[in-house]
Structure 1
């Protein structure tokens, strides 16, 4: 098997389908072989549809041979997170409680991917009910990072990130309610996009929670644009989805003359030396592109983190409390803890978190009038152990103890300030081999600005996964 084949960018694969130098069957066969070879170690996939997918690849091959592809993803393997729906196929949400659930309707994003010719060959692992930033469950076991299996690939879209980093799929979907796209992107050296709230449709009830976003994960910026342009746009089943559809350009000018704000800790996070080093190196890359990069003080304190925890605990935890009476013994430790703690939350606590969100934007909004984008680390640590349990284990950053749930990720403030598009890109690697990343935060609903910065940065560093030296040593 050629690693160049399994890591081929989606845009290149499509060009080669078009000139008939590559078949969708060849690409999918190589990625299935890769998945089967490393399943026991990585556990990136839950349900697989390899035979059905091969039939779809053969049909795609015939369409390309006739010069008649059905859409812009025709023949590309796309792994779908095991929380959204495909009619007639199980969706487990990573839980023993819902392992037998089979939806009768397909989620809007998945409908669009299938209609564009994407081949869904697998579902990707999540923590139970997507409620952690690590990926393990009692149903599916521990999902591990291809760069170093001792560490997590992040969560909750951890299976998607592990599959992409290992060459098991070309594209993958994720969702992000507290960092669940951006954290795995950082831990696995990928590009992950959190669209602004409403840009991509979602399923009820979480389509109505402004912290919640669905979006793409990919190994490169243009591949991310490709999938985002498919997922984006209004859907009649989702009142929060935005009209009109925004179609992103695939190319952008450079950054000469840009002004970029840098925050190393968003005011209250404790950052490891390795993450700090790589973030500063990324800032230098932007300077080399002709941008002015200045460190700024957002004026945020720990109250911002606390408000994010309050919102997620109240809304997300509240949704899970109904499981306690009948299923407490079936739940993971982290879901049980979240559900139990949600019982202590009151409506006034939620309102207070909203007041803090408003105060936080009163500094970020004007800042993004003076600067084109804000950059900051995605995570405070490169990653935590793969089997990390926030209810029993402890965490420290270079010897300084921190909290154990969301305190090691810098993503939640931008779920709170959810109308800002945020793209996560790699910033380097730690001594453990695990990647690190930065977030690029653009002004509200100005998605192209985030992608312009990300694409210029990617080109400056030469991209990712382009050679054996820049891929996991599996």
Structure 2
């Protein structure tokens, strides 16, 4: 097996080889390090990197597997890249900002990271994010521009763009993300990988994100079995997160029949300006579900543009956006342009009335989506309504267009944010094909509240039907 093939192993495959003693964790990490030296300069998906420290842990994992009769942990020796907005004990977290370049090491890891490390995952790098995770693109003054491995002129999405790019480029086995307006699913769609937004509280989180019902932390992978494995290890109550749920969901890891299931789909929510390649690939994906024996019908969600981006703009006037105003008081000179623009908008436009408006809109949206999900097992829709935007896209560009029509530069090219308003619905993003630009496209599988297992069941059947992703060298970016 070549080094590049090692770099595209799923965690499930790597763990099987580790147990057979036909591959060592140190060999896998060395292959990733070699590939990162070759590929990362072109896509720039890593912030801080810890290769020497990680190699020491990988050699300890080698010894654990070599010991006959010894017990190994569920992720023993599996390389993991962590988004640079999640705390890792003993490491700085920059949040993509020059303001935090000299931040002290964190005293403890966020619960998701803590659990993955305890399960044996080896953190070797932090993945890039826009400053403060503010936007669906990934560039900042702190770390520069992150590019899409499939087409470097285009962006990988955001805010977990570094994680999506690292997975697609074969630079990590597993990665983490956080999702407030689509920050796991947007890059999953743009990069052609798997991303899961669990219901809020399913995965414990650290402050202040754990208080934020729009926020979710979750796995990013190249296969659904890996996403289910990560999710099963992350979920469950945590003594430091009062929002974390006591109930867990038993997730399937192998494909099963979905014959007879009822699947709804919406191409455009009734108002979204949809790219032609996204439309074509979404319809092809929907055909797979029909071929699998499901009843597939188009549904009217009863939504409108009025219930769309306004909600997230209002939300940004609350805590998520207000952090920029707080930092700008003393550090505006260090902040990226879009962060300064956000601070100015918060100071200019926010009122006390804005606080309740996202909750009001969430309720309105669910009054029509809820009955659809009661009738159907899941809802299918595109992840983003265009494949991607340029790598240096300005989320405040008032001249931005989609299909020649003026569009919101932040939310006018993504279809993820309505499901952050509906924070208890689990949502998977899976690859659906490629656009003419070479950039991947994605679909979302939206489940009933708390029904994570059904979403994974449908996703696994689809993954098997399309033959998976990245296993064949022809299905990988060219470097």
TM range (shorter): over 0.9
| Match in the other structure for 1:128 | 131
| Equivalent position SS for 1:97 | helix
Counterparts of 1:409 and 1:400, CA distance in 2: 15
Q: Secondary structure at the match of 2:113?
A: helix
Q: Deviations over 1:36-82 (max 9, x none)?
A: 11222111111010011111111001101114343110010000111
2:247 maps to: 244
Cα shift readout 1:353-382 (whole Å, capped 9, x = no counterpart): 321211110111111110000010000110
Instruction: Give the Cα separation in 2 of the matches to 1:452 and 1:312.
Output: 34
Partner SS state of residue 391, structure 1: coil
- Pairs within 5 Å for 1:162-201: 162-201=165-204
- Quick one: distance in 2 between partners of 1:358 and 1:212? 17
Per-residue CA shift, 1:191-217, capped at 9, x if unaligned? 000000100011111211110000000
Q: For residue 467 of structure 1, what is the aligned residue in structure 2?
A: 472
1:366 equivalent among 368, 371, 395: 371
What does residue range 304-319 of structure 1 map to in structure 2 within 5 Å? 304-305=307-308, 306-319=310-323
Aligned to 1:325: 329
1:310-336 deviations in Å (ceiling 9; x for gaps): 113323112221112111121111111
Q: Partner of 1:424: helix, strand, or coil?
A: strand
Post-superposition Cα deviations, 1:99-126, rounded to whole Å, max 9, x if no partner, equal 1112112111111111111010101000
Structure 2 residue 264 is the aligned partner of structure 1 residue 265: no
1:392 & 1:353 partners in 2: Cα distance? 24
- The answer to whether the aligner puts 1:429 opposite 2:439 as a matched pair is no
Matched with 2:300 is 297
Is the Cα contact below 8 Å between 1:93 and 1:99 reproduced in 2? no
Report the equivalent of 1:115: 118
Q: Distance in 1 between matches of 2:280 and 2:390?
A: 21
Per the TM alignment, residue 436 of structure 1 is displaced from its structure 2 partner at its CA by: 0.1
Do the aligned partners of 1:261 and 1:375 also contact (CA within 8 Å) in 2?
Answer: yes
Give the match for residue 72 of structure 1.
74
Per the alignment, residue 16 of structure 2 pairs with: 15
Aligned partners of 1:166 and 1:342: how far apart in 2? 37
Aligned to 1:93, what secondary structure does the other structure show?
Answer: coil
Q: Does 1:375 align with 2:380?
A: yes
**SS in structure 1 of the partner of residue 449 of structure 2:** coil
Q: Map residues 21-170 of structure 1 onto 2, 5 A cutoff.
A: 21-67=22-68, 68-101=70-103, 102-170=105-173
Specify the SS of the correspondent of 1:121: strand
CA distance in 1, matches of 2:463, 2:411: 28
Moved more, 65-74 or 410-419: 65-74
Alpha-carbon separation, structure 1, partners of 2:350 and 2:338: 17
Could you give the per-residue CA deviations for residues 254-313 of structure 1, whole angstroms, max 9, x where no partner exists?
110111111111233211001000000000011000011111111101122111221133
- How far apart are the structure 1 equivalents of 2:400 and 2:441? 18
**Which ranges of structure 2 fall in alignment gaps of 5 or more residues?**
none
Q: Distance in 2 between matches of 1:352 and 1:155?
A: 25
* Root mean square deviation of aligned Cα: 1.2
Q: Secondary structure at the match of 2:100?
A: coil
> How far apart are residue 252 of structure 1 and its match?
5.0
In structure 2, the CA distance between the partners of 1:31 and 1:228, relative to structure 1 (3 Å rule), is same
Q: Counterparts of 1:394 and 1:432 in 2: how far apart (Å)? A: 21
Distance in 2 of aligned mates of 1:123 and 1:355: 36
Corresponding residue number in structure 1 for 2:225: 222
Query: 2-side partners of 1:163 and 1:337: how far apart?
Result: 29
Match of 1:5 in 2: 6
How far residue 347 of structure 1 moved from its aligned partner, in angstroms, is: 2.5
Residues 60, 69 of structure 1: 8 Å contact kept: no
How many residue pairs get aligned? The number is 474
1:439 matched residue in structure 2: 444
SS in 2 for 1:120: strand
Secondary structure in 1 matching 2:123: coil
Runs of 4+ displaced beyond 6 Å = none
